[in-house]
Amino acid sequence: MANTLHGFGIGVASKNSRGEVLDVYYPLPLANISGELASVLDGINGEIDSTTARSLANELSAAGQESLAAVTERLASADKPILASSLSDNAPPQTVGDAYLKLHLLSHRAVKPHGTDLSGIFALLPNVAWTDEGAIDLDELQDRQLTARLSGKVLEVSSVDKFPKMTNYVVPTGVRIAHSARVRLGAHLGSGTTVMHEGFINFNAGTEGPGMVEGRISAGVMVGKGSDLGGGCSTMGTLSGGGNIIISVGEECLIGANAGLGIPLGDRCTIEAGLFVTAGTKVVVLDDARKVVDTVAARDLSYRSDLLFRRNSLSGSVECLTNKTAIELNESLHANN
């Protein structure tokens, strides 16, 4: 029997007519499980029947997991497919159920971005229609649309994607999300995070909180406490560019409107509006007297704190100098209770 488990979830699955899993909702996923509970949950994988679910509920109750026991009992009483996933270690997901468990763990704040292996998740997840009747196989969508119309209804298709929006599965405490379709399941939002209408947060990415997000947080990017991503700004991920540098934003940083970031940023840094700093951007470094000290690639300034990146309006060169006025976010904006 296992001494530890990376994660466990039991929930309700959606399937297509061929019996293939389209998505899974795990109400109370667990991470980093040890001791007696790990032994109880070890090896419980795949679809289980109501008898097995009730037996598991009794074992969970005996192990002190009353909330999860109650959820499991409710699942056993419903006429829906019950799916369980038990992750013995932090290995890449092997099934759709595993993949959804890992995404749930991220959005439940049980693990942080890069804290669970998501290798191969794109190939594993099916591309489905996300509708007001749940996940629907694309091959079955037209028939479902016709059925809805014949009954006087319209089947609302909100997106066609491999990843659903987070809020249909998890709504973390202490956050505001103005446009829920712009936050994918697998995003990690710390308490105090506000995502405005144009803000976007991908899976395996997010914020420590508090923070204001009016720009794009790409897959793999983590934003530190007290940082502000201005309207239309962007952070570079590693999915599309082929790079392997993990981009991050430190604490109390400001990325101005329509600016961009392609290096790991230290604390209390500012990138002025409209300036995109990539790893290879040539940066003129200035001292406190505004005299040129050196010219370096932006990647050489990775993780450095208290920097201000700006573009010289006369020469057009990108400059970096010590940031003497680190931003302070309005605390009332992040009281999302």
For the chain, the structural domain boundaries read 4-119, 129-161, 166-334
| pLDDT of amino acid 334 | 54
Q: Can you give the C-alpha Rg of the chain in angstroms?
A: 23
Determine what percent of the chain falls in helix, strand and coil, rounding each to the nearest 5.
20, 30, 45
CATH of segment(s) 129-161: 3.30.60.70
| pLDDT of amino acid 322 | 83
| pLDDT of amino acid 337 | 64
**Which residues carry out catalysis?**
214
| CATH fold for domain 166-334 | UDP N-Acetylglucosamine Acyltransferase; domain 1 (2.160.10)
| pLDDT of amino acid 290 | 85
When pLDDT is averaged across residues 73-85 and rounded to a whole number, the result is: 96
| pLDDT of amino acid 324 | 60
Q: 148-204: per-residue pLDDT in tens?
A: 999 999 999 999 999 999 999 999 999 999 999 999 999 999 999 999 999 999 999
Contact 29, 66 (CB under 8 A): no
When pLDDT is averaged across residues 63-75 and rounded to a whole number, the result is: 96
- Does this model's pTM top 0.75? My answer is yes
More confident residue, 98 or 243: 98
| pLDDT of amino acid 323 | 66
| pLDDT of amino acid 243 | 56
When pLDDT is averaged across residues 39-55 and rounded to a whole number, the result is: 94
| pLDDT of amino acid 291 | 86
Matching CATH number, 4-119, of 3.40.50.1000, 3.40.50.2300, 3.40.50.300, 3.30.70.2010: 3.30.70.2010
Cα 168 to Cα 236: distance, rounded to the nearest angstrom: 26
Cα 17 to Cα 135: distance, rounded to the nearest angstrom: 12
**Bridge partner list, 136:** 129
318 phi/psi in degrees, rounded to 5: -85, 130
Pairing label, strands 276-277, 157-161: unpaired
Contact 308, 326 (CB under 8 A): no
Q: Which of 204-208, 260-264, 304-308, 323-327 shows the lowest mean pLDDT across its residues?
A: 323-327
Cα 7 to Cα 50: distance, rounded to the nearest angstrom: 22
At 76, which helix (H) or strand (E)? Answer: helix 66-77
| pLDDT of amino acid 288 | 80
